Structure 1
């Protein structure tokens, strides 16, 4: 699969997601949240990185996940993007007054206590689609590829996807880092390379 094929797949799956109604998105997000809470409830994590959604683009609503984690006393970490370097900086999330929407409409912290990638226990990863080996197609900017490469080996990488996996994404780049798990509305997939 070439870069062009990846771009085509990305466009197809983004178009499918865009066609969902707000009720469908809310239902799928709730199913993913319920599965993820079951998954997270099996162990205690001190520091969890959560992506914040662009709800108008039908992304998975992670706000209930943030609320659940904070109620458990878990430290929630969110990111701010640097468009020049395509890198993320991470901050402890305390309250919504920290946030402003960036140029893509993503809520990002404008201040807070900075956290290094190596301090995170688990990362919830946004994506467009994924395959049965744990490879994902993201949004094409490379932010998460750089981010994940800076994390320690024991950090658990969990994708969240509204759609089931493709059989295979055949062309992966050397810098691609596979998921450990992916939570979908109907199933939690484990890829066995943690």
Structure 2
């Protein structure tokens, strides 16, 4: 299957997922992540503000803050094809922005401090599909691949529901592999 076919199939399948199922899976994924040593050692957790039927990161944000960790969220700079991450104090500080057909909540670079990942930090990577070799199919903008290429030492963790995990998906030379995947039922690492 091509990336386009997989994207289409996953988007269709996600339409069948209820808010309750997303909430339950998000809590289960958070529980798995927060119980690992890598999370304990991280100073900053790089998250994304979920939209539509993505795994919700707000539970992970809340738990990280309760443990004294910083959380950072991406700001898309579509004019230069990049993302940058900014630390925030509260999810309420994120502002709705339109990108393509998506409404994404982002930090305001005028109000928030830009942050770069350190070796022990974790970046939670969104995606439509993942495979057991560490490959990921995103939304097609290439922002995360470009960003992750600049920080190979940061731990890259994909989160998704079980139906988004494949044995193998197509990968290009410019795709950056992730280091682990957490679903509502399993933790896959290392690759």
Question: Shared fold by TM > 0.5?
Answer: yes
Aligned to 1:14: 11
Match of 2:88 among 90, 93, 106: 93
- Please provide the CA RMSD for this pair: 1.8
The gaps in structure 2 that reach 5 residues or longer are none
Q: Secondary structure at the match of 2:157?
A: strand
The CA deviation at 1:97 is 4.3
Aligned to 1:24: 21
* Cα distance between partner residues in 1 of 2:8 and 2:37: 31
Post-superposition Cα deviations, 1:95-124, rounded to whole Å, max 9, x if no partner, equal 234311110221101121111355772100
Counterpart contact for 2:119–2:153, Cα < 8 Å: no
Post-superposition Cα deviations, 1:79-104, rounded to whole Å, max 9, x if no partner, equal 11012222111111112343111102
Post-superposition Cα deviations, 1:46-103, rounded to whole Å, max 9, x if no partner, equal 121011111xx11111101001001111111111101222211111111234311110
The gaps in structure 1 that reach 5 residues or longer are none
* TM-score normalized with structure 1 length: 0.88
Counterpart contact for 2:26–2:59, Cα < 8 Å: no
Counterpart contact for 1:98–1:112, Cα < 8 Å: no
Counterpart contact for 1:128–1:136, Cα < 8 Å: yes
Match of 1:49 among 37, 46, 51: 46
Count the aligned residue pairs. Answer: 185
* Cα distance between partner residues in 2 of 1:187 and 1:14: 22
Give the number of the structure whose residues are more often strand, by fraction: 2
Assess, with a 3 A threshold, how the Cα gap between structure 1 residues 121 and 63 changes in structure 2: closer, same or farther. same
Aligned to 1:123: 123
